[in-house]
Amino acid sequence: MAQWQALGPEDMLSEGAMQRIDLDATAILLCKVRGVYYATQEHCPHLRVHLANGKLNGQVVTCPGHGSQFDVTTGACVAWVEGLPGIVRQAALAVAKPRDLTTYPTRLQDGQVWVLA
């Protein structure tokens, strides 16, 4: 059952930064976008590469594996396996349909960042 968990102080991330955080039951990707913390699953839904090793540009994280992109504010997939070349990408699309990231609610309380996960 999901429960609120404190992650760290309110200023734990600078603007535009992201960090993998391992919780008991799951790993999350915590991002700070326009002053707001967002939490999603940390593993890419394509082949489970660590999104924390990718790049966060605005509110879009790019997977270092094969270039899929996700909006961390909603979890929505905005590009799927864009980093694969032509026919390889077509094959990847045939076997793995685009998937969104699981998102987790966050809040600030008592000077801490909290996540419901």
Which is nearer to ligand FES, 32 or 43 (by Cβ)?
A: 43
Selected range binding ligand FES among 15-23, 31-39, 63-71, 105-113, rule: CB under 6 A: 63-71
Selected range binding ligand FES among 16-24, 26-34, 43-51, 97-105, rule: CB under 6 A: 43-51
Q: What is the DSSP string of 7-38?
A: EEETTSS-TT-EEEEE-SS-EEEEEEETTEEE
Instruction: Please give the structure tokens belonging to residue 30.
Output: 């915590």
Minimum CB distance to ligand FES, residue 95 (Å) = 12
Q: Kindly give the pairing relationship between strand 4-9 and strand 60-62.
A: unpaired
Question: Rounded to whole angstroms, how far apart are CA atoms 20 and 50?
Answer: 8
Selected range binding ligand FES among 19-27, 28-36, 44-52, 101-109, rule: CB under 6 A: 44-52
